[in-house]
Chain A
Amino acid sequence: MTEARERSLNSVNSGVLRAETLGRTVPSKVLVTDVDFEIRKGEILAIVGPSGSGKSSLLRLLNRLDEPTTGTVYLQGIDYREIPPRELRRRVGMVLQRPFLFPGTVADNLRFGPRQRGQELSEAALEELLSAVLLGSFAPRNVANLSGGEAQRVSFARTLANSPEVLLLDEPTSALDDDSKREVEAVILRISRDRNIPCVLVTHDVAQAARLAHRALLLEAGRVVRSGDVQEVLHA
C-alpha cells in the first residue's frame, strides 16, 4: 500500500461496518465465534484462513443471509437488526464466488437491484457501471455468451447498481483463470479507489490478499487468531 493511500485512509471517518462478538452456532458445529472487527471507507479487509475456517460463514452474517446466534453488526453505527433486511442487503452488497447471472442481457441483470425498490437505472448510469468494471459496450449482450471473468465483472456491476456502502466479496476469483483473475482484481482496486467503498474480501489466496488488502483477519475454526496489517498477519 502506498503512503498516500494510507494517509487517505487514515483521514476518513471511522468504521462503516463493525462486527461485535459476532458468532453463529448450528446444532452440530460452531461456525463463527466471537468475531470483532471494523472496516473504514476505502479500506480492503481480507479474511483469510484454511478451508472450513468459517470465512464464508462470517461473510454471510455480515449482510444477514444467516442469522447470528451471538453478537451483532453495526452499519454506520446502527444495529443491523433494526434495518429492514432488504434495505440492509442493498446497502451491504455481496459478490459471490460464482456470478449467478439471471437469464437475459447484461443490462437486465444490472437493472434487477434498483427495480426491487421501484427504481429504473438510466442508460447513463448503466454505461457508467459497465465502464467501472471495464465492460463498456456489454449492455445488450446475452449473459449466456460471457466468459467467466466477464460474468464475474457483470456481477460486480450488478451489485454496484444498488449503490452499496460496503462490498462483501466471497472468493470472487476462485473459479477464474489467471487472466480473468487479474481483470477482476483490477476491478476491485478500481472500485475501492474510485468509489471509496470499503470491501471485505474472503480469499484462500494469500498472495491475492497481499496484493489487494490493507488489513487482514486470519480465521481458524471460526475464531479470529490474528488481525492487523495485511503483511504482518500473512507473514507472522
Chain B
Amino acid sequence: MLKALFHGQLQLGLAQAVVAALAALAVVVAAGRRGIHLEKDLAVAMVRGLVQIVAVGSILLLLLRGPRWTSAFLLIAMIVAAGATSAKRAKGMPGAFRVSTWAIACGAGSTIAVMTLLGVIDTPITALVPVGSMLIANAMNTNGLALNRFRSDVLAHVGEIETALSLGADGKTSVTPYTLVSFEASLIPAIDSLRSLGIVWIPGLMAGMLLSGARPVYAAIYQFVLLGMIFASSGLTSLVSTLMIRTQVMSPADQLLLRPGQ
C-alpha cells in the first residue's frame, strides 16, 4: 500500500519508519493505560536510534571510499559507545563503563579480529563493519543483561554476601554465586536464538543474502556462522564482564560497595 503512495526510495523509507514508530507508540499507549510509563524512554530511544543509524549510513558511505583499515576505527568507536550504553544497565555499580568497554572489546573485538584473520568475515568495509556491528551489538546486550542481573542479585542478597564476608570469605568468593547466575542468564537470548534458528525466525542477514542473489544453502550456513560468532563474542563478553565486576563491587578491604540506598 505504501509503495503505491510513495515512489521515491527515501520517501518510502521515511513512510515505513513512521508506520513502525506508530506501531511502537501503540504499545506505549497500551502500557500507559496499565500504569507502565515508557513514553519518554521510547521517544528518546526512537529519535536517537533513527539519528544514529542515518549517521552511520552516511559515515559508511564515506568510508566505502577510504582504505580498509579505517573500519577498525569505526569498530573501536562502536565498542566504546556499546560500553557506555550497556553500563547504564548497571546503575550505581562502580566502574561499570570501564568493565563494559573492556568486556565488549575482549569479547566482540577478539572474535571480530580472529574471524577476520581466519577469513570467516570478509575484509571489505561493507562486510566487516556490518558484521562486526552485529557482534558488538549482541555483546552489548549480553553485557547489559549480565550487569543488570548481577546488580539486582547483589542488592537482593546483601545479607548473604555480608554473612560470607563476616565468616572470613574474600570479596570475590562472596559474590561468585551471583556472577555465575548472571553469566548464565545473560546468555539465554543467544542460546534461544541458536535453538530456534530457522524454525521461529529467519534472521535479517539471511533474508538480505537471499534478496541479493546468494545461494539459499550458503545464506543459511553463513547465518549459522554469524550466530555462532555472536554466541562466542557474547559469551566471552559476559564471562569477562562478570569476572571483572566482582572486584568492582568490593573495596580493597572487602567491603560491599553496592548496597540498597547507596
- Docked pose: A17 CA to B23 CA in angstroms: 66
Number of interface residues of A (CB under 8 A): 23
Q: Is there an interface contact between A100 and B159, defined as CB atoms closer than 8 Å?
A: yes
Q: Is there an interface contact between A100 and B168, defined as CB atoms closer than 8 Å?
A: no
Number of interface residues of B (CB under 8 A): 17
Assess whether B170 is interfacial by the CB under 8 Å rule: yes
Interface 1/0 per residue, B155-190 and A, CB below 8 Å: 000011011111111100100000000000000000
Provided the pairs A96-B163, A100-B159, A100-B160 are in contact, do residues A64 and B255 lie with their beta carbons within 8 angstroms? yes
In the complex, which residues of chain B have a beta carbon less than 8 angstroms from the beta carbon of A112? 164, 167, 169
Which of A85, A87, A113, A159 has the most chain B CB atoms inside 10 A of its CB? A85
Provided the pairs A100-B159, A116-B173 are in contact, do residues A162 and B253 lie with their beta carbons within 8 angstroms? no
Q: Is there an interface contact between B167 and A85, defined as CB atoms closer than 8 Å?
A: no
Q: How far is the CB of A159 from chain B (nearest CB, A)?
A: 7
Provided the pairs A98-B159, A100-B160, A102-B160 are in contact, do residues A93 and B166 lie with their beta carbons within 8 angstroms? yes
Assess whether B254 is interfacial by the CB under 8 Å rule: yes
Q: How far is the CB of A163 from chain B (nearest CB, A)?
A: 11
Assess whether A178 is interfacial by the CB under 8 Å rule: no
Q: Is there an interface contact between A116 and B169, defined as CB atoms closer than 8 Å?
A: yes
In the complex, which residues of chain A have a beta carbon less than 8 angstroms from the beta carbon of B173? 116
In the complex, which residues of chain B have a beta carbon less than 8 angstroms from the beta carbon of A93? 166-167
Task: Name 11 interchain pairs, CB-CB below 8 A, sorted by A.
Answer: A65-B165, A67-B255, A89-B165, A90-B167, A94-B166, A96-B163, A100-B159, A100-B163, A102-B164, A116-B167, A158-B167
Top 6 closest A-B pairs, CB basis? Answer: A90-B168, A113-B167, A100-B163, A94-B166, A116-B168, A100-B159
Where the two chains meet, the residues of A that have a C-beta atom closer than 8 Å to any C-beta of B are 63-67, 85-87, 89-90, 93-94, 96, 98, 100, 102, 112-113, 116-117, 158-159, 162
